[in-house]
Structures are given as structure tokens and as C-alpha cells.
Amino acid sequence: MIGYATFEAWWWPYVFIAIAGWLATDIWRWLGVLVGNRLKQDSAALTWVRAVATALLAAVIAKLILYPTGELAGVPVALRVVAAAAGFAAFLLAGKRIWVGIVTALGLLVGGQLLLP
Amino acid sequence: MSTLSAERGAYWFLKGARGIASLPAIILMSAFVGFCGFAVEAGIPLGQTVFMTGMIWALPAKVLLVGSILAGASLPAAFVTVALSSIRLMPMVAALIPEIRTPKTPTWLLLVLSHFIAITAYVFTMERIRDVPREHRVAFFAGFGITVTSANILLVAVIYSTVSSLPAMLAGALFFLTPVYFLTSIWASTRERAGRIAMVIGLALGPLFHQVAPEFDILYAGVVGGTLAFFADRLWKGRAAS
């Protein structure tokens, strides 16, 4: 099968990225435009599409916290979950101030790693 | 008359461009520092990392593409992996378009501008678009989208050579910034009850479907969670009305 390292040519990785990256993402954006063009504002269909979009994002969030990539994978899962939950609680308590939630979550994540053996 | 309207359009374009100094844009740039570190670690050369940033734009899709390259995946396999994870862009774009277009907006313009839609641009725009006059919303979105994308392309190019020396704890914190920011900002920008219910259900269903169908988890969680939230909201409304 043709892969990223199949051809030596300098331009091949760019073709690989254009097909497996650019095309694979932008086709959904184009379809989204075509669908969105037909949705009326304040319609039930738009409410449903928005709910699906929000649930998708929420699933992405949960996965980024529970199954992270890179250096974050080395941090214990319990610490990640507690830090995120405490950050969200602080955000709500502070009258939905986003920066309060972020500072709390990051503070706990870094502080927790420094304190834990 | 038309010059005046063009001037107003330029004003809103710049107003959108100024969003580069907003919290969401700054957090996204930090996340891009994290991604750049990941690409360096994976051995992706500078030119290709910059190319990916501009051409794909959506951060999770890039992380998956780099992961596929690392795993030695074939072109069709990498395409399917990235495409499946990016289906989420479709409802996001479909939800955003009715908010920004007017009956006169040409479809080709929306198709071109849709490239700049990713989670951050979606959240930023949904949060602020109601304060922008309808005829200037496309200009406002274009200003933000084009500026933030260009800024991150530049950022990746500039930091590529220095990012590998980032301490592990800082790199981890940068990766953590994104989910925490999304969690709080999406909640803050969701005005409808259906959206809040969808958020809670999606958080639970994401990991659940990850156990059952890891390839399609985000998609299933979105469609099932969003539909459940939609009907729960209808039921609630119906009960309140009766």
C-alpha cells in the first residue's frame, strides 16, 4: 500500500498531507456549507444540528482529557479528571469566568505533579 | 452607498481580526506550540508541519495525521482515520453558516471561508456573532478566521526549531489547556437548554463509545448525544407548556 514514506521525491509527503489531511477535512466543511445553506434560523432542524455539534465537541473534550496524546499522557488520569472537574466548578462559581476555570485546572495539574511522588 | 458599505465591511473585518488578541486565540496558539512540539518529536520536517497547519487547520485532525504517519499507515488508512475524526466539522459548519450568511452571500464565498472553521473559530464566532450586524457577519468571521490561521502558520514556522527544548511539564500543561478551555467556553456560549444537555451527554458518551467503537466514538457520541438532548429539550418544553 502507498504510504507516507513510499516515494523519495521531496513533494510526495506534501501530496500525502494534501490528500489524507486537507481533503479529508475540507470535504466535511464543504458539505457543512451546503447543509447549512438550507437550514432556516430558529428552526427545529438547526437546534438539532447545533445539539449534535455540541455533543461532538463534548466527546472530543472528554477524550482529550481521558486519552491524551503527547506529554499529558504521562500525568495520572485521576489528576487530569480532578483538575478538569475542579476547573469547571471554579468557572461556574466565579460567574462563568473562563480564565478562573483555566487557572484553577492548570494550577491543580502542575501542582499535583509537583506534590505527587 | 456601496463605498460606505465596503468601508463598514472593512471595519468589521478588522474587528474580527482583532480577535487574535482574545483568550480563545491565545489559548489556541499555546495549543499550537504543543502540536509543534509533537510534530518535531515525530520527525515531521518544518515545511510539512507548516503546510499541515495551513491546509488542515483543525488541530485534532493534524494530531491524528501525524499519529498515522508515525504508525506507518497507508494513504487510504490515513485518509479514513482523518476523515472519520473530521465528520464533526460538518454539523459545526452547518450550525455556523445560518448565523453568518445573508440571502445575498454567495455560496462560493462560504465554501472558501469554511476552511477557517475549526473548534476555536466556531466557539469564538458563536459567542460574539449576535453583537455583529447581520450584513457584516461574514466579514467579521473572515477577519478572525484568516488572521488566526495566518498567525498560527507563522507561529509554527518561527518556534519549530526551539520548541523541542520545552520542559515536559509545560508541554503537558499546554495539551491540557485546550480541553479545559473548550469545556468552559462552550458552556459559557451555549444559550439553549438543548445545548447544555448535549454537552453533559456528550461528555459521558465520548468515553463510553470509545470502549465500544473507538473508530467512530466521536461520531456516535455526537449523533446519539445530540439527538437525545434534542428530544429531552422538546419533552421539557412540552411539559412546561401543558
Nearest-CA distance B119 → chain A (Å): 8
Q: What's the pLDDT at B88? A: 83
Share of chain A above pLDDT 90, in %: 66
* A58 part of a folded domain: no
Q: Does B111 touch chain A (CB under 8 A)?
A: yes
Task: For residue A56, tell me if it sits in a domain.
Answer: no
Cβ distance B58 to A25 less than 8 Å, yes or no, reads yes
Please say if the pLDDT value at position B200 is more than 50: yes
- Determine, yes or no, domain membership for A25: no
Distance from CA of A109 to the nearest CA of B (A): 7
Average pLDDT over residues B168-184: 85
Contacts of B38 in chain A (CB under 8 A): 69-70
Which residues, at least 6 apart from B105, have a Cβ–Cβ distance to it below 8 Å? B138
Mean pLDDT of all residues in B167-175: 82
Domain enclosing residue A109, as ranges: 69-117
Please report the pLDDT score of residue B34 as a whole number.
81
Name the band, by pLDDT with cuts 50, 70 and 90, for residue B1.
Answer: very low
Q: Which residue has the cell 491565545?
A: B26
**How confident is the model at residue B2, as a pLDDT?**
62
What is the average per-residue pLDDT within B82-105? Answer: 90
DSSP letter for each residue of B102-160: -TT--HHHHHHHGGG-SHHHHHHHHHHGGGS-GGGHHHHHHHHHHHHHHHHHHHHHHHT
The three three-digit cell numbers of residue B108, written as one number: 462560493
In a domain, A84, yes or no: yes
pLDDT score recorded for residue A85: 97
Mean pLDDT for the stretch of residues B162-166:
77
> Helix, strand, or coil here: A11?
coil
Domain-located, residue A14: no
Q: For chain A, what is the domain count?
A: 1
Confidence band for A53, pLDDT divided at 50, 70 and 90: confident
Q: Which range in A57-61, B163-167, B185-189, B203-207 is most confidently predicted, on average pLDDT?
A: B203-207
Residue A3 lies in a domain: no
Distance CA B18, CA B132 (A): 14
Closest-CA residue of chain A to B45: A13
CB of B76 within 8 Å of any CB in chain A?
yes
Residue of B146 and A98 predicted with greater confidence: B146
- Mean pLDDT rounded to a whole number for chain B: 90
| Mean pLDDT for chain A overall | 92
pLDDT reading at B7 higher than 90: no
Task: Compute the average pLDDT of residues B185-206.
Answer: 90
Q: Let me know if residue A108 belongs to a domain.
A: yes
Question: Mind listing the pLDDT tens digit for each residue in B12-42?
Answer: 999 999 999 988 898 889 889 888 988 888 8
The arithmetic mean of pLDDT across residues B56-75, rounded, is: 88
**What is the per-residue pLDDT for B142?**
97
**Tens digit of pLDDT for each residue in A68-104?**
877 788 899 999 999 999 999 999 999 999 899 999 9
- In this structure, what DSSP letter does residue A5 have? T
Q: How confident is the model at residue B186 (pLDDT cuts 50, 70, 90)?
A: confident
Query: Would the CB atoms of A36 and B98 count as touching at under 8 Å?
Result: yes
Task: State the pLDDT at residue A14.
Answer: 96
What angle, rounded to 10 degrees, do the helices at B137-159 and B2-17 form?
40
Residue A52 lies in a domain: no
Res B231 pLDDT > 70: yes
Mean pLDDT value across residues B213-231:
89
Average pLDDT over residues A26-44: 92
Say whether residue B139 is in contact with chain A using an 8 A CB cutoff. no
State yes or no: pLDDT of B177 exceeds 90.
no
Q: What percent of chain B has pLDDT over 90?
A: 55
pLDDT of residue B94: 95
d(CA B110, CA B93): 10
Nearest to B55 among A21, A80, A110 (CB): A21
Segment (H or E) for A71: none
